[in-house]
Amino acid sequence: MKFEDVLAKAEMEEKLDVSEVFKLLHPASDDERRLLFSAARHVREREFGSRMFIYGFVYFSTFCQNACSFCLYRHGNPHATRYRKSPQDVSDTAARLRDDGVHLIDLTMGEDPFYRSYEGFNSLLDVVNEVRNDLDMPVMISPGTLPKSEIRMLSRAGADWYACYQETHNTELFKQLRPGQDYQVRLYQKKWARECRMLCEEGVMIGVGEDSQDLLVSLAEMSRIGTQQNRVMSFVPQAGIPLDGPAHRDVDELTMIAVMRLIMPDRLIPASLDVEGLDGLKPRLDAGANVVTSIIPSGSGLAGVAQHELDIDSDKRSVDAVRQRLGGMGLSLASRSEYQNWIDDHRPSCAGES
């Protein structure tokens, strides 16, 4: 089947077989690439109109017990700046992000041993409760892997979303990227979170040694698991980490965004400011993304993940800067109630359902 025919089938939301998805992942010319992105935008427009969502990012602890090979904050890396923000700092930053106009507060940490202690975990529950209930903001929590009982406590404290990225669904590559970590336990986080009525985000990394086959498996897994938000992010080399890539990429981040939009039309797909800053926003939205992530207030002393300083203290990671860029693309920010309605409509209704 020709590329255009597969694209037409995808635009009509007909189910594609593996060879057809493979074809979409490999546009053979600039024209085919343009057609792919145009179809992805068309599908996004049909599902979400021209209204984009936007998330604030609060990376409140950069301590971590793990040693992921792609991550600046891996245990023992002397190049990483380590901090653990106080609950008051987290709450103040979240309030500032709310006032700036974000739709959700993404509370992210490394697997910080402090937050695995009784005292630390209780303080995490307090922070989630305060942001969700006192500030009245939707909350995404990205704490790494936890027992199901603790995921349930986070849900009861008010967390709406649980983010936990495999980065790859090739179990051998997973061992290299996340040494010493359990693939199945990480995958189960999403199942447990759904059973606790939380929305879930899955993530895949590009340029870490994966091939097209691995990406096909990731796409199938994201469809199967039913994660409501799926992010793809390019690996950016960091000081002091073993992975020195980026490795050869069979498929780039933008193509992957477009294919995710076509085969999972109603899911949220982030355009992260963390990889290429504000200048990287347009290409990601042009490929079909619909959530701007990683808004970080200038002067907050908070870091990003893929690029820990990029644009942060120039105000380019602000809601106003994003609003301006969206305007130039004929897009706009959704209202907070539009976002709240979306999460209310998509929250798993009971154990096992999405």
CA atoms within 13 A on the CB side of 226: 14
The residue among 64 and 258 lying less far from ligand SF4, judged by its C-beta, is 64
The residue among 54 and 206 lying less far from ligand SF4, judged by its C-beta, is 206
The residue among 111 and 276 lying less far from ligand SF4, judged by its C-beta, is 111
Residues 53-72: x where in contact with ligand SF4 by CB under 6 A, - otherwise, as a string: -----------x-x-x--x-
Please state the closest distance from residue 74 (CB atom) to ligand SF4, in A: 4
Concatenating the DSSP letter of every residue in 61-81 gives: E---S---TT-TT-TT-TTSP
CA distance 94 to 77: 28
The residue among 111 and 311 lying less far from ligand SF4, judged by its C-beta, is 111
Does residue 304 belong to the site contacting ligand SF4 (CB under 6 A)?
no
CA distance 270 to 291: 4
The residue among 110 and 277 lying less far from ligand SF4, judged by its C-beta, is 110
Which residues in 142-161 contact ligand SF4 (CB under 6 A)? 144
Beta strands in 235-303 (DSSP E): 270-272, 291-295
The residue among 64 and 199 lying less far from ligand SF4, judged by its C-beta, is 64
Which residues in 97-126 contact ligand SF4 (CB under 6 A)? 110-111
Binding ligand SF4 (rule: CB under 6 A), the pick from 73, 162, 192, 235 is 73
- 3-state class (DSSP) for residue 325: helix
CA distance 306 to 207: 13
Other beta carbons within 10 angstroms of residue 27's beta carbon come to 20
Q: Report the residue count for the chain.
A: 354
- 237, 19 in Cβ contact below 8 A? no
Please state the closest distance from residue 69 (CB atom) to ligand SF4, in A: 9
Nearest to 207 by CA among 163, 249, 148: 249
Binding site for ligand SF4 (CB under 6 A): 64, 66, 68, 71, 73-74, 110-111, 144
